[in-house]
Amino acid sequence: MTTLSPTPEWGTEDLDLDSYLARIDHPRVAPSLDALRSLHIAHVRAIPFENISVLLGGPPELGVKAVAAKMVNRARGGYCFEHAPLFAAAAEQLGFTVRRRLGRVGPQRSGPRTHALLVVTIDDADHLVDVGFGASIWQPMPLIDGAEVDQAGWAHQVRRTELGWSLWRLKQDGWEPEHEFEDVPQLAVDFEVGNHYAATGPRSPFPGKLIVKRLSEGVSRTLVGNELTVEHADGRTEKTTIGFDQLGEVLPGLDIDLAPEELDALRVKLGG
């Protein structure tokens, strides 16, 4: 596989790297597998997965300047089409070799390519870097058929497919596919198309309901609509129904602080 050099269309140099590293509380590092793992964990720990911008304004801007203004300067979160360009720009400035890719979530349902992910090469070995997959992936995964990696307490596996690679998660009833991607070059316009469908498509979950996800070691917290679910790696699950009038208290607990006008607009959008 020929690796393409970063092109100006991705806006890698538009990122203020020091501000990003301060946001995720991580020092500058030289490229290595340990450094990639540390950066991945720091990013997921610091930056929430959330679709509030989609709910309030439709497809978010994907340029690195716009993504950084929101997720770095304003300390907000975003969904995969925002997480992936931000992490890619930082990794490339640090000297990593990055390939931007698109995947199908729920490949068994033949969905569209609406997931943005990255492949990073270290010492001639490829690794799946998936900082924007619903706060599910804690650290990189080697692209080796059958490789299994503990993701903050949940077992995940990558498998080679006829088209490329698929990500699987071990659940109570066995292994279940999460997404599948082809390792073929993408252009910025491909991300724009996927982003538009994810933010507006009739089969996409993002334009119709509030989705916020946070992952830490052994604990996953997910707010979908008005249901907050806390899952523990040992199998315990707690569910709480919240009122939209409680968002001002619930969202900060998920590391999201909205301006008062944004919170009011979100409540109106959700009918609360």
Q: Tell me which of 1.10.3720.10, 3.40.50.150, 3.30.2140.20, 3.30.70.1400 is the CATH number of domain 9-270.
A: 3.30.2140.20
At residue 176's C-alpha, the angle toward residues 221 and 235, to 5°, is: 40
Read off the pLDDT of residues 220-232 as tens digits, 9 standing for 90 and up.
Answer: 999 999 999 999 9
Which helix (H) or strand (E) covers residue 45, if one does?
A: helix 33-46
CA distances from 201 to 59, 79, 182, 197, 208 (A): 10, 15, 22, 5, 10
- This prediction has a pTM of 0.95
What's the CA gap between 267 and 10, in Å, rounded?
34
- pLDDT tens-digit series, residues 113-141: 999 999 999 999 999 999 999 889 999 99
pLDDT at 6 exceeding the cut of 70: no
**Token pair of 258 as six digits:** 């909205």
Q: What is the mean pLDDT of the chain?
A: 94
Task: Output the pLDDT for position 9.
Answer: 81
* Residues classed as catalytic: 80, 115, 130
pLDDT digits 0-9 by tens, 52-90: 999 999 999 999 999 999 999 999 999 999 999 999 999
State the distance between the two ends of the chain, measured CA to CA, in whole angstroms. 51
Q: How far apart are CA 143 and CA 145, in angstroms?
A: 7
Give residue-wise pLDDT tens across range 92-112: 999 999 999 999 998 777 678
Tell me what pLDDT residue 1 has.
41
pLDDT at 8: 54
Q: Given pLDDT bands bounded at 50, 70 and 90, which one contains residue 2?
A: very low
